[in-house]
Every structure is written in structure tokens, then in C-alpha cells.
A and B are shown apart, each in its own frame.
Chain A
Amino acid sequence: MDCYTANWNPLGDSAFYRKYELYSMDWDLKEELRDCLVAAAPYGGPIALLRNPWRKEKAASVRPVLEIYSASGLPLASLLWKSGTVVSLGWSAEEELLCVQEDGGVLVYGLHGDFRRHFSMGNEVLQNRILDARIFHTEFGSGVAILTGAHRFILSANVSDLKLRRMPEVPGLQGAPTCWTALCQDRVAHILLAVGPDLYLLDQSACSAVTPFGLAPGVSSFLQMAVSFTYRHLALFTDTGYIWMGTASLKEKLCEFNCNIRAPPKQMVWCSRPRSKERAVVVAWERRLMVVGDAPESIQFVLDEDSYLVPELDGVRIFSRSTHEFLHEVPVASEEIFKIASMAPGALLLEAQKEYEKESQKADEYLREIQELGQLTQAVQQCIEAAGHEHRPDMQKSLLRAASFGKCFLDRFPPDSFVRMCQDLRVLNAIRDYHIGIPLTYSQYKQLTIQVLLDRLVLRRLYPLAIQICEYLRLPEVQGVSRILAHWACYKVQQKDVSDEDVARAINQKLGDTPGVSYSDIAARAYGCGRTELAIKLLEYEPRSGEQVPLLLKMKRSKLALSKAIESGDTDLVFTVLLHLKNELNRGDFFMTLRNQPMALSLYRQFCKHQELETLKDLYNQDDNHQELGSFHIRASYAAEERIEGRVAALQTAADAFYKAKNEFAAKATEDQMRLLRLQRRLEDELGGRFLDLSLHDTVTTLILGGHNKRAEQLARDFRIPDKRLWWLKLTALADLEDWEELEKFSKSKKSPIGYLPFVEICMKQHNKYEAKKYASRVGPEQKVKALLLVGDVAQAADVAIEHRNEAELSLVLSHCTGATDGATADKIQRARAQAQKK
């Protein structure tokens, strides 16, 4: 362990930087890195190389090859570049490769070299060409900034929602700026550029000259600038070999350094850890690498080969033809533990555990020492944390072992931090594997989140590993396994060499009823690849009909969509399909389709009733539904028609329809109504007053009330009003008129079909006891008691009841006996009752 800190290099008093190998690269590079356009995605992302034939003055006889490798150098894709001259390459946050061409076109490729889409940076660039381009990352996504041949800057802050912003002109800019970069401050992207000794900041509206605070004098040109990963810091390299490091606003200087090398560096990037006070910049020349910070001395490395720097959240990745290394500031926990002669609790604990394994009593001494200081908890935490920052599994293990050892001597140490670290390390080690090639550090992993990591694994088509991680971390199915399976399925449907049946079966076998898997999404993907049949097969597995329908419609399977929509029971869905069908099919076919789907039909009918009456009629016509057609015309005769002729005509059509429907009754009734309407019209003309729209009964009543008895009788005869009704009608009307004379005449015209009790009732209603009594005598025997009671003749009612010997009647009379006046009658009844009982 003595040499563990051998690769630690101190920078100033307080910080160490270490560089260790991630992978030894065995990619078979045909070209030197320096001859290529290189782009490496952050967070251990893939590396894209495009041999740059345009740089050399050679004729472009040979087409260049675009190659994509994993961070460990495994080839992912290789394709012949057939498009125009590429100015710059870059990776978006979704790990899509953006290739910015000279003519302003940007081609987007997937990780596996699959072409995704392309967009343009504006027409202006077509003439002017692009001199330079940068791809940068903001919190919204990935942006592109370009420098045109006319020395104008154009940028888009988010390529997935392309909005081009033309930056203002830089006054007096003749040639290309010596160096420039995109900055992102307060969620707005700016451009910082250097022209000779001047710095300009371009924002949306203005171009302002800026001066870095505390810049050493004598600078005549800025050769290189670097923005930190978080856009918080900026470093400037001048032609005097002087490096200024400060905040991105240029208002504060953090430190400066003079390296005395005047040659422009090939690359300069920041190397700092989040939440660390140390600030350092890594500068690379052809054969020299320098770490510069707030210290009089710098750390120097010799580069044996052409190298390329990739800034990361917490360090710098350096890859070359043969190796891939990581350079970073040693984290505090590791420093505490491994620093030579460290007495930090973590260091002691690690030592104690080692002694314990050696079965030495020193273990106890160390432990005691920690415990006496009461720092055991801290020691365990330190070991856990340091384990996270170690790259080598054996070091991780020994630190974790120490932590676990220390934990034994603690009463209450919450286990979750330990457990979580073990899990995280296992995941990290798995993805750092050579075959996977994602060299994430612990801090990067935490920043990226497990969800994004899973997305990236899926993007690399590493489905089994992703699923294993989900299962290992026990992620909820919907977020984890199901999502990955769905992605797998989407990939699967793109395999054109497998038959539809096999793909569908394979997908169903794997996915089964896994919750959260949307078969319709997979089907949509299949349809996108032009495999309609497969899409339909996959949709069969979709349990939610609501999800099937939109895709089916898109695939022009409207009829199938209709039946699915009906199955779903969602009427809105049915309606959507209906409208689709209506536009798609001709009227006849549309109606035929409806005819077979009663639910859809009634839905559409409801809509038509309110919105398209004519269509409703056509619908009924189509179905030969004469009954409804008749009803339709009847309704029209009330609602739509104003003139009497129109109404009669509508009724005639209705009657015809009813005849066709074999509904004689309705036809007759309609014809009667036509007659009545005409008649009412005539009555209105001849007699005045209102008759239209009265019912037959009311018409006759109105006539009687108006004293047109003859007419009334004529009408009753014409319309064959039954006797009973006529009697009721006349009785009520005459009583309303209080025409007692006429009423009496009427009552004597013939024997009443409704008896005479109603006469009594109606007279009493008009409070005419005198008239009522006249009729009471004529009431038939079975209702006599009631009639007598109505006119208030209790005594006579009692007599009749006794005569009838009817128990019910007796009690009825009895209940009407009130007070003293009827006392005698009541007695009489009681007596009669008693007598009846004796018998």
C-alpha cells in the first residue's frame, strides 16, 4: 500500500491530482487523432471520429469514414461519409451525434450510426459557409453555436426545439476571432469572443466589450479560452503564456499563472470537482500536459502520443491511441484516508481492519484510538465515501470492508448509506466494464441519475444489463423493467429480417402482461417502420382499446378502429372514429358501417338530432326505418314548419311513412291530426279566437265555452268522439259556464253513459248545492250513498245505506257523521248494524 499515493501529484499545499488509467484502448485507429475531427460525449459517453480530409489540401477523392467508438474503444458504428464538408462534431445530451456541415446543415445520427434527422442553421449560412461551430449543453438540452464566413454568430439553445438566434454584429470585426466560446448564464446563451487584445460578450441584443478583472498587462492576443463544465468559471490563455482564471462573468479573478510557453495550446479544459475549493485548468500541447491552479508550481505530464481531452463534471478524461485515462482532484475522503501519515479516523479504521485481518492486536489499539476521540461514525462514513471514489474494485472492497468492520462497534449506525454505496458500486463496476465502456465516476453517476443511465444503456441496446440493474436495484416495474422491455420491443420491430409472426410472438413472450408496457407505442414504432401488419398484430395485445384506436385510424383501419372504440366503451373515442369514417367513406358506405354498429349509430343519431337534421333523415331512409321517419316528420311539423300548409304536408309525409311501417294506428292518428289542423284553421277564420294546436278535446271544449254547441257536436261526430268523453267534456264545460239550464237539458237528453255522480260532484265543485241535489236523486243505487253524502244529506245517505245493508257504505256514512246534528243518524246506523249482526 505504500505506493498507493505514488500517482498523486500535489498542486499547491492543499490539493492532490491523480491520473489513472480507465482502459487501454485497442481500437484500430487508421489515422492519427490529430488528423481527425474528434467528439467525445461527457459522462463517459461515446467517441466519434471523422477523418478530416478537408484539412489537408488533398483532393477529396477518398470519402472519409465516420466512426463511433465506446469510451473503451469498442467500435459501435462506422459509415462512409457521403454528405458535405463537416466543420464540427458534437454530442447532444441525448447522446445523438450532431455533425455541423459547412453549408449550415446539421445531420443528426444515433449512437449506432443510424441517421435520425437533419436541420439547418439558416439560409444565410448557405452563401457564407460556416467557419467554426460549437456544441454546448444547457439545462434545456444541447445547443449549437456557429460562426459564419461573414463573422456573424448564430446560435440555437436547444436543438430539439430549434429556434435560431442571430447574434448582434461585432463592431469592426475584420477577420475571424482568435478564439471564442458559448457561455450559458442565467439560462441564456451568450458568446464570448476574443479579437486581438479585446474581449466581447454577445448577448441577444448587444455586443459589449469586456475586460477580465485583474488581467496582467501586456496581453496582445488571447489564444485559447475554456469554460468550466458548469459554466461558472472561465480560463483565458494569452500569447504571453499567461493564464487568467476567474468567474465566467469576468468580474472576479480566482488565480493566474504564467507558464512561459507562448505556443498556443491544443486544448485547455477545466478540471475541478463540484463543491471543491480548488480550481485547476488542464492545458495540453502536442507533447505536454500541464495542470495549472492556484499555486506557483504546476503539475506537468509528458504526453507520449496524440491525446484528446474530455472535460467532465469532476475531472478530465484523456484518451489517445493506446490509453484512456482520468485525471482528477483527489476527493477529500480519499485524501484523508490515504495521505501519507494521515491520522484521520478513516485512515485509522482502514489500518485497524487490516491489522484485524492479520490477527494482530494492533487492530484494537487503532480502534480504541478512534473511539476515544469519538470519531468512529465519522470514520465509517469516510470509508464509505472514499470507496465510492475508488476506481479499482479491490480498493473499493477493502474500504467497504473497513467500513463494515467499524460498523460492528457502533450501536446505531443507519445501514442505508452503506447498502446504497455497495449497490451503486456494483452498478458502476458493471457499466465500467470494458465491454460496456461507460467510465462513470460516482459523482457523475449521482448527477446523471439512474434513470438517465438506464436510458443510455437502452440507447446502447444493452437491454439485459439494464434489466438486471433494474431488478438488482428493485426499481418499480413501470419505471424500470417495463420501460426497458418496451424499448427492446421497439428495437425488435425494426429487425426487418424476422417475420411479423415471429416478432409479435417474441415480443409478447417477453413482455406478457408486464404492467406499464404500452403495446400501442411499440405498434406505432412498427408502423413507423412500415410494418402495418405487425403493428396490427401487436395492437391485439394492447389491453386498453383507447390506446389502439388512434393508431388504427392512422393506419387507415377505420372499421377495426370503430369496433375497438366500441369495445372500449369510451363514447368520445367512438365519436372520433365516426368523424374520421365520415370523411373517409362515401355517405352510403358510412351509413352501412353505422348500421352494423348500433352503439355508434345511436351516438351519431343523437349528434344529428341536434346538429344535422337532414343527415338524420337520410339515416332513417337508408335503413328503411319508416317508423322513425314518420316520427321525424311529425316532429318537423311542430318544430320546423310555421305555415299550416307546410305542417299539413309534413304530416302527410309522416302518415305515408307510418303506412309503410305498417303502423296503421299512427297513420290514422296523423291523418286525424291533419284534418283537425285544417278544421282548426277554418274555425279560427270563421269564429276568431285561438284553436290551432289545441287537442281535440280542448277544441270541442273551447267551442262549447264559446257557445257554438252545434259546431261542437258536429266536430264530435266527425271525429267519432266516444260518448263518455263527450259527456265528461260537456259536463265540465257547462259547469264552468255555470249554465245550469243547459246542463239540465243535457242531462236529460239521454241516459248518461258516465252515470250521474259526476254531475253531483261537478255541481258541488261550483258550490251549487241546489243543482247538485237535482242530480243526486238520479244517481244509480250503488253510488247513491256517495252522492247523498256529497250534497250533505247524511240522514238520507244513512237510510239508503241501511237499505243496502252494505257494511262499507255504513261506515262511510258513519265517518261523515259529525257533531250533535248527526247524532240521531249515527245511532240509527249503529242500530241497523247491530240488527244486521243479529241476523
Chain B
Amino acid sequence: MAFPHRLDAPELPDFSMLKRLARDQLIYLLEQLPGKKDLFIEADLMSPLDRIANVSILKQHEVDKLYKVENKPAVSSSEQLCFLVRPRIKNMRYVASLVNADKLAGRTRKYKVIFSPQKFHACEMVLEEEGVYGDVSCDEWAFSLLPLDVDLLSMELPEFFRDYFLEGDQRWINTVAQALHLLSTLYGPFPNCYGIGRCAKMSYELWRILEQEEDGETKGRRPEIGHIFLLDRDVDFVTALCSQVVYEGLVDDTFRIKCGSVDFGPEVTSSDRSLKVLLNAEDKVFNEIRNEHFSNVFGFLSQKARNLQAQYDRRRGMDIKQMKNFVSQELKGLKQEHRLLSVHIGACESIMKKKTKQDFQELIKTEHALLEGFNIRESTSYIEEHIDRQVSPIESLRLMCLLSITENGLIPKDYRSLKTQYLQSYGPEHLLTFSNLRRAGLLTEQAPGDTLTAVESKVSKLVTDKAAGKITDAFSSLAKRSNFRAISKKLNLVRRIGTDRAAVLRLLNCSELAFTDMTKEDKASSESLRLILVVFLGGCTFSEISALRFLGREKGYRFIFLTTAVTNSARLMEAMSEVKA
């Protein structure tokens, strides 16, 4: 059922090296503070840290107790405190308050702040302003790339989206450039680079500068990855805002996958305890259904269950020896598979229950209509009803944005009335949310005289493009099934892998770039040229990942994904929302 990869598909590079690097560096930093110490970890860093170094490793390096960084006074009695935080001003205030409280109490302790992935001058400024700069030693843990899966690297920087696309804050771009630099030192230079968007361009340029400064190291290395694509999230909000229909995406939408693992509650496990499941290619069952349209998943799972039963049943006709063999070799695997199967079936049921309750069909239909650009009035009133019924503030917002983007802005009357309705339903503080959304271009008012909608014009331009046409064909099988069309609309990503690169470049705007280093390309083997690194600046969804995996299987490419964070429509909307403090 899951598509096997074509035989000539290239092997993926081994990314576990990144984990080892990060772990070694962290240990080194911890050892810089000899003796017993308490470690304060920022909540956002807990899951990534868990993937790099578990508690026992930390204990080995004399970490005594672990605390979460939160707005509460610490109760630690250790003489040495170590803080592992993101470079945020809020955290600096926390550290400063701790140090100052100790000073008042006449206590002297050692403090060390480890910034991940890098230190910002503003943070040191705050420490200085609070008068504790001299008491605290600062360090950097350059942990910017977490391999979540064999083909997925995440920087775990969800704030990238808001900071860059809303606040115009470019400080993370340097981090991205450094991550790319790290990749190119480990896995050889990239012969071909492409990018769409301003952020992509800036990242690329900064990265180039870094490479030049340390020239000579990567020289002469054979490239392992042939192409790199840098994409700004704001190039395509549509895909990210659509409901996800592949299994992995749905699991993310429903249960929220956090750092590659998900907490299945009692309703899934059908016991009273919740279960933490790691979702990656090692989970064999999951690996086969993750990229599937949800409607197929049930069928597949039941087929799988039958196969499993058959394998269990085999033991009936066995003699002692065969039985021994079976128990010692196969049974464990079968048991494991059994367990996974039951987890995923539980998850499916739970998703089904939730989706039918929310009238998923209607929702999908509306989204579909929005994407196709028909029945706008009906869709608008559907959204209105959605708001009136207070279904969910995030969902309502998502639909409004989707409407705005597909229609190239709302017509003034709708713009006002929808906003009024929304404020009445979900509270007036969302006035700020709307102001944010407008700034990010997600929810705007139509300029008078603008009739042809943006997406329509984009798509019509693309469909005439030969290369793009081919790829749409590749998608048609999936597209028929559902609104996978949304993804095929993301042709501005997909089309360029097609052969006709020149035609593609014609379509690119000023802010897009393409860079090919012929000397490097010569060295690249044909194998590596079919390995493609796609960098999403501002996050990507599991649907997008699935779509590219599918494309890769069809065409014999392998894609590697590097994203600032795995995101979905809800996370995007939450990033834009103003919540009362």
C-alpha cells in the first residue's frame, strides 16, 4: 500500500551525526561548570533536549536536579545554577530576578546561562541593565538542527514565523545561515541553490559570507546533496492554512505532534493512562500510513490487522521446533507491530469521532470551494455561521484568512462584518490580532477594482507552464481524492524540480534567486543530484512534507526537509493571535 521507493532513489545522508555533535557540545558546556549543579530548562527546549540527551546523560555530568524555567521563584538549594534557555528577554529577567533575590539574601552562587542556539546582544543588555551581568557567565549551545526523522530536520524555532513575518525581526536569519553552513561543512557543498522570498535571499547571502570566511574547509569535498531550495513561508500560506488530510497531518492537527512525538490521551489508548509515541520512520506501521490520505488509512490498518492475525495463526500448525523459532524470532516483532497497530487504530477512531462532530465534510467542502474560487457567498456565510456559533476562535480565523488569501482580500463589506462578528464572539482583544494579520498580509481588504483573484492568476500562469503541467499529472491521482489539490497548487515549489529550469526562472520575481556552481556540479555524482534539501523558512506542514515525499517517489528523487519548525494552520494562527496576558 505504501509506495516503495524507486530502486534508483539515492540514499539519505546520516543525520545522526548532528545529534552527536549537539550532545558533545552540551556535555562540554556542562563540564565547564564542574561539580554538582541544578539545571533550569526552558519549556520549549525540553522536548528537543530530550531527543539529544536524556536525564541519565545529564546526571552523568553532575546535573543534580532539573527545573523548568517559569515565572516562579526557584527552590533550588544547589550552589551552582545552570540555565538552558532560548535567547529571550523574558528569560533574562527571570535569571536576573533569581540572582538579585540571592543577593538580597546574601547568598553567593555560581550562575551560568547557556543560550541555544545562540546568544543575542539584547539579552546581555538586559542582564547588564538588571545589574547582574558580572555575576552570570554566558555561553552558547549551537544546537540548531534536530533530526526529527530520517529526512526531516527541524530547528525547533516556532517563533521564527512571528518574529520575521510579523515583526520584521531578522535576527533568526543568522541562525538559519549558520545551520546551513553546518550542513555544508558536514555533508559537502551544495552545487545548486534556489530560493523564493526575501528571507530566503537574506539567509542565502549570509550563508555565503560564512562560507567565504571559512573557505578552504569545504573545498574539494564531494557534494552529497545536489540541490537546495530555500522557501519563505509567506510565499504560500494557502497550503498551510488548509485542513490536512494525510494521516500524519491529521494526527498533528488533532493531537499536536511535538518534537516528533505525540501524547495519545486515554481516548486513544483506551486505558486510563496516556501514551507518548515517537512518530518517525522507525515506527513501521506509521511509516506506511503517514503519507496516506485519511480515507485510505482505515482500510490499510484493517488489512494489516488481518495479516497480523494470519501470522499469529501460523503457529497453530507448528511443531515444537518451529514454535521455538517463532517465539524467539518473530513473536517480538509481531507483538511490537500489534501494539503499534492498536495505537494507530485508536488514533484513527479518535480522529474520526472528532471530525464527524465538527462537520468535517462541510468544512472540507468550504475549503475546496474557496480554493476553486466558486460559491464565495456561500462560503462567506458558512464562515459567518462558524463565528456565530463560536465553534473555535482559531478555526474561524483560519477560514477568514483562507478566504482573504484566495480572494486576494475580502470585499470591504465582508471585511467589516466578519471582523465585527468575530470580535463579538471571541472578545475585543482580537482587534490586535486583526491588525497583526493585516500586517502579515493574511487578512486584508480588497483594493477596489481588483477582480481577478491572486491564486487564480498564479495558477493560470502556472498551468500553461509545461513542466508544471506534468507535475500536476503526477498529482492527479491524489488530487482526485480530495483537496490534495491544495498541495498541487503549491506548484511554485514543485514545478521547479521539473526539467525545464529556464522556463521556471522566467516566472521568478525579483526577490528570487538561483545559483549554480558549475565546478561543484561537475564533482557531484548523479546520485547526489537527486538528493534535494528543501528549507522552509517559517515552518512547513506535514502535508507539504508528504506531498514532496510522494513527488520524490514518483520521480526517483529523495527530499530532505529543513524547517524552522513543523507547523500547521492552528499554530500559524496562534502565532498571529494576541492573547490576553
**Interface positions of A (Cβ within 8 A of B):** 515, 543-544, 568-572, 575-576, 579, 598-599, 602-603, 605-607, 610-611, 627, 631, 634-635, 638-639, 665-666, 669-670, 672-673, 676, 693-698, 719, 721-722, 724-725, 728-729, 732, 754
Contact = CB atoms under 8 A, between A and B. Distances in A.
**9 closest Cβ pairs, A-B complex:** A571-B171, A602-B168, A610-B89, A695-B427, A673-B428, A572-B121, A696-B424, A575-B121, A725-B388
B578 A665 contact: no
B388 A728 contact: yes
A603 B163 contact: no
19 contacts: A569-B177, A569-B202, A572-B171, A602-B167, A602-B169, A603-B169, A610-B89, A631-B432, A634-B432, A638-B580, A639-B580, A669-B419, A669-B428, A669-B431, A696-B423, A696-B428, A697-B390, A697-B424, A698-B427
B500 interface: no
Contact of B435 (A611, A631, A696, A697): A631
A724 B389 CA distance: 10
Nearest to B579: A638
A611 B129 contact: yes
B122 A607 contact: yes
B402 to A, nearest CB: 21
Nearest to A663: B435
Given A569-B173, A695-B426, A575 B120 contact: yes
Contact of A606 (B167, B202, B423, B426): B167
Given A606-B167, A669-B420, A697 B121 contact: no
B361 to A, nearest CB: 11
A606 B120 contact: no
Contacts of B580: 638-639, 693
B523 interface: no
Interface in B109-138: 120-122, 125-126, 129
B240 to A, nearest CB: 23
B232 to A, nearest CB: 15
Contacts of A607: 89, 122, 125
B336 interface: no
A544 B427 CA distance: 50
Contacts of B581: 638-639
Given A666-B431, A695-B426, A695-B427, A544 B209 contact: yes
Contacts of A639: 580-581
Given A602-B168, A611-B126, A695-B428, 19 more contacts: A569-B174, A569-B177, A571-B173, A571-B174, A572-B174, A575-B121, A598-B168, A607-B122, A607-B125, A610-B89, A631-B432, A638-B429, A638-B580, A666-B431, A669-B428, A670-B431, A695-B424, A696-B428, A725-B421
Nearest to A628: B435
Contacts of A673: 428, 431
B421 A599 contact: no
A524 to B, nearest CB: 19
Contacts of B389: 728, 732
Nearest to B412: A665
Interface of B: 89-90, 120-122, 125-126, 129, 163, 167-171, 173-174, 177, 202, 205-206, 209, 212-213, 215, 384-385, 388-390, 416, 419-421, 423-429, 431-432, 435, 578, 580-581
A64 to B, nearest CB: 50
A639 to B, nearest CB: 5
A665 B419 contact: yes
Contact of B427 (A543, A606, A693): A693
Nearest to B578: A635
Interface of A is mostly: helix
Nearest to A567: B205
Contacts of B215: 515
Contacts of A602: 167-170
A378 B318 CA distance: 78
A729 B389 CA distance: 7
B421 A665 contact: no
B408 to A, nearest CB: 20
A93 B209 CA distance: 38
A754 B385 CA distance: 9
B444 to A, nearest CB: 13
A606 B170 contact: no
Contacts of B125: 575, 579, 607, 611
A634 B431 contact: yes
Query: Which of A544, A635, A669, A719 gathers the greatest number of chain B CB atoms within 10 Å?
Result: A669
A171 to B, nearest CB: 43
Nearest to B445: A665
A606 B163 contact: yes
Contacts of B205: 569
A676 B428 contact: yes
Given A569-B173, A569-B205, A665 B426 contact: no
Contact of A569 (B126, B167, B170): B170
B167 A605 contact: yes
A736 to B, nearest CB: 12
A606 B425 contact: no
Contacts of B424: 695-697, 719, 721, 725
A698 B177 CA distance: 47
B393 to A, nearest CB: 10
Contacts of B416: 665
Contacts of A605: 167
Most B CB atoms within 10 A — which of A569, A602, A721? A569
Most buried by B among A598, A605, A695: A695
A516 B277 CA distance: 51
B547 to A, nearest CB: 30
A816 to B, nearest CB: 14
Contacts of A579: 125
A478 to B, nearest CB: 8
B426 to A, nearest CB: 6
A377 to B, nearest CB: 36
A724 B121 CA distance: 53
A724 B431 contact: no
A697 B387 CA distance: 10
Contacts of A575: 120-122, 125
Nearest to A700: B424
A724 B428 contact: no
A697 B89 CA distance: 36
A669 B424 CA distance: 10
A6 to B, nearest CB: 53
Contacts of B435: 627, 631, 666
Given A631-B432, A728-B389, A603 B427 contact: no
B189 to A, nearest CB: 17
- Among B177, B202, B388, find the residue whose CB has the most chain A CB atoms closer than 10 A: B388
Contacts of B177: 569
B169 A669 contact: no
